[in-house]
Amino acid sequence: MYYNLHKKCLSVRYKGIVIAHTRQIVLTDAKFHVQPAGREKVLREKKKNVHAYVSGKLKESFQDIWTAKQYVSYNPYKNKTFVDKLTNKTVTSAEVVHIADRVITAGTADRI
């Protein structure tokens, strides 16, 4: 899953092919990925490209599954990885991730 800069929504990818577009999504067993070569290209050219994404298992419901939350962000000009917005510490994975447009909330699962 990645934010589609042209459509201004989330693109859901499966085996390298975009299969859906949505405004929000919930993933479990999520991993945060940044492709270093893509980030370097952004820094060099000062032009955005898709090089960061979140992978995981699609979850249909978002209710009553949080025991903890953190807000996650990625800015290639400031960080090499996704980070916790409050602590600026690297975030590489989360049990549950909710993404709504460009707001990423991650946490641990109460029940899945």
Residue 17 inside a domain? The answer is no
What is the rounded distance in angstroms from the CA atom of residue 105 to the CA atom of residue 26?
A: 10
Question: Is residue 77 pLDDT above 50, yes or no?
Answer: yes
Q: Which domain holds residue 28?
A: 24-109
Residue 77 inside a domain? The answer is yes
| Element containing residue 38 per DSSP (H, E) | helix 36-45
Question: For the residues 28-46, what does the mean pLDDT come to?
Answer: 96
Is the whole model's pTM more than 0.75, yes or no?
yes
Burial group, residue 99, by CB count within 10 angstroms (0-12, 13-18, 19+):
buried
Query: Which amino acid, residue 86?
Result: L
Tally of domains within the chain: 1
Question: For the residues 29-38, what does the mean pLDDT come to?
Answer: 97
Written as six digits, the tokens of 59 are 């979850």
Q: Is 37 helix (H, G, I), strand (E, B) or coil?
A: helix
Share of the chain above pLDDT 70, in %: 90
Average pLDDT score, the chain: 90
Question: For the residues 23-50, what does the mean pLDDT come to?
Answer: 95
Residue 18 inside a domain? The answer is no
Residue 60's pLDDT is: 74
Residue 53 inside a domain? The answer is yes
Residue 9 inside a domain? The answer is no
Residue 97 inside a domain? The answer is yes
Residue 71's pLDDT is: 95
Residue 74 inside a domain? The answer is yes
